[in-house]
Structure 1
């Protein structure tokens, strides 16, 4: 995927936070010295090309509810079916295939731990697989950003 100059500038400037205001895309455009339509078109191009997965806030999960990391050991012949089933849950995000006995990893979020526990029971009943429940004990904050910079 080729990233144009506006996309590079937009990613570098806003991947760590959007303006908190009534018109965030207009504020982004002002900061980038372009039009709001340019920003929206750029975001659309990034999304349609697969370069953008989401735009939205990242909440401190312990203040907003509960979450846990879950792993499943899915037989390869069932992988697509189980992944599709897991993806149907609104509470699931970050679903990944991994090279390991526990090969399907995802995050479950919900309003409280009881909700998470009920989801784990439902997932086990639907898949016939026992979820490995790995709740976070301590968060070690990192700056998960990827500077794009100028084109090579």
Structure 2
């Protein structure tokens, strides 16, 4: 996608730090000197083109509960069925297939570690597969951003 000026400004200015207010898109428009409808249309166009992966906050998960990265080694013929089983849990943020012995990976979040363990146990009981449980031991912050040179 060839990004126009407003798209580049939105990415440069707001990929780290959207306004924390009741009307963030209106505030983004005010900061960039345009209308809220233009911001929304621009974000929608970038989303439709596959240029955005998500718009939303990143939380310090340990302040909000517990999480773990988990994986299953799923026989190929059961991958879709197991992925659907995993996705039915509201504790699952996302899951994805990988070309590896452990071929179905997912992130679980919950209010505390015992809750996460109960979900993993339920998944094991439902699928007959033993989950690989990889809770984070140390957090490493990588402030990954892409300056496009068109921000204010």
The corresponding residue for 1:56 is: 56
TM-score (norm. length: structure 2):
0.88
- Tell me the SS of whatever aligns to 2:109: strand
CA shift in 2, pair 1:134/1:4, >3 Å: same
Distance 1:149 1:93, change over 3 A: farther
Alignment-derived partner of residue 43 in structure 1 = 43
- Count, aligned residues: 150
CA displacement 1:37-79 (0-9 Å, x = unmatched): 0011122222333333332211111110000010111111111
Q: Is the partner of 2:130 in helix, strand or coil?
A: coil
Residue 114 (1) aligns with residue 100 (2) = no
- Once residues 145 and 96 of structure 2 are traced to their aligned partners in structure 1, the CA distance between those partners, rounded to angstroms, is 20
Which residue pairs with 1:4 in the alignment? 4
1: distance between equivalents of 2:129 and 2:37? 47
How far residue 133 of structure 1 moved from its aligned partner, in angstroms, is 0.4
Provide the TM-score with structure 1 as the length reference.
0.88
1:147 is displaced (CA, Å) by 3.4
Unaligned runs of 5+ in 1: none
SS at match of 1:69: strand
Kept after mapping to 1: 8 A contact 2:87/2:94: no
User: Aligned Cα RMSD in Å?
Assistant: 1.7
Output the CA distance in 1 between the equivalents of 2:135 and 2:13.
Answer: 32
Compared CA separation, residues 91 and 146, structure 1 to 2 (3 A)? farther
Counterparts of 1:69 and 1:92 in 2: how far apart (Å)?
10
Any idea what SS the aligned residue of 2:37 has? helix
- In structure 2, the residue matched to 1:21 is 21
CA-to-partner distance for each residue in 1:104-126, whole Å, 9 max, x for gaps? 11110000111101110111122
Structure 2, unaligned runs of 5 or more? none
